[in-house]
Amino acid sequence: MALLEILKHPDPRLRNKSVPVEEVTDEIKQIVSDMLETMYAAPGIGLASIQVNEPRSIVVIDLSEEKDQPLCLINPKITVTEGEQEYEEGCLSVPSVYETIQRAEQVTVEALDREGTPFELKAEGLLAICIQHELEHLEGKLFVDRLSKLKQQRIKKRLEKQAKETM
């Protein structure tokens, strides 16, 4: 297993749109394992493949306390959304920024699991939030895109300054 580098906003590679996984091969299974290890180490509750510069559509999530209930979504698609909820979200690609975001309360998602078997999942609450956040990454979007332009500029400047200081 390997720890992968997590790209940080405003890295332009975070804006790339992901492409479908054609077949769940041993290479894809290795990427899933590496993404889980990277998410647990960060620590985070989700990670999208584009955040580790992998162009193929993969999401990993684990909301459990013990970090022993990994969920893997390959080529995920949201088919149904219902209701509304708000949550103060964070993002491993936008460190130290937490903002309240409005999203659907419930989602139905179709995906392949890490063995390549199709499945459907109905999610609500934080799992539904996390799925929506991660699928936006696969579209090249970040949660900060939903904030005012002024807030976005401040966050971008702060992160650019932090990146220069750590060079």
Residues involved in catalysis: 134
How does 17-36 read in b/e, with b if 16+ C-beta sit within 10 Å?
ebeebeebeeebeebbbbbb
**Mode of pairing for the β-strands spanning 85-89 and 58-61:** unpaired
Which residue lies nearer to Zn ion by CB, 119 or 151? 151
Q: How many CB atoms lie within 10 A of CB 138?
A: 24
* By the rule CB under 5 A, 135 interacts with Zn ion: no
By the 8 A CB rule, do 81 and 106 touch?
yes
Of 80-109, which residues contact Zn ion (CB under 5 A)?
A: 91
Give the nearest distance from C-beta 136 to ligand K1U in angstroms. Answer: 9
Sites of contact with ligand K1U (CB under 6 A): 43-48, 87, 89-93, 129-130, 133-134
Bridge partners (DSSP) of residue 85 are 103
Nearest residue relative to ligand K1U (C-beta): 44
Angle at 32 between CA 143 and CA 12, to 5 degrees: 40
Residue 45 touches which member of Zn ion, ligand K1U, none, C-beta under 5-8 Å by kind: ligand K1U
By the 8 A CB rule, do 10 and 94 touch?
no
Q: Among residues 129, 123, 102, which one has the least CA distance to residue 111?
A: 123
* By the rule CB under 5 A, 58 interacts with Zn ion: no
Which residue lies nearer to ligand K1U by CB, 21 or 128? 128
Give the nearest distance from C-beta 90 to ligand K1U in angstroms. Answer: 4
Give the nearest distance from C-beta 144 to ligand K1U in angstroms. Answer: 11
19: DSSP letter: B
Give the nearest distance from C-beta 26 to ligand K1U in angstroms. Answer: 25
Which residue lies nearer to Zn ion by CB, 44 or 75? 44
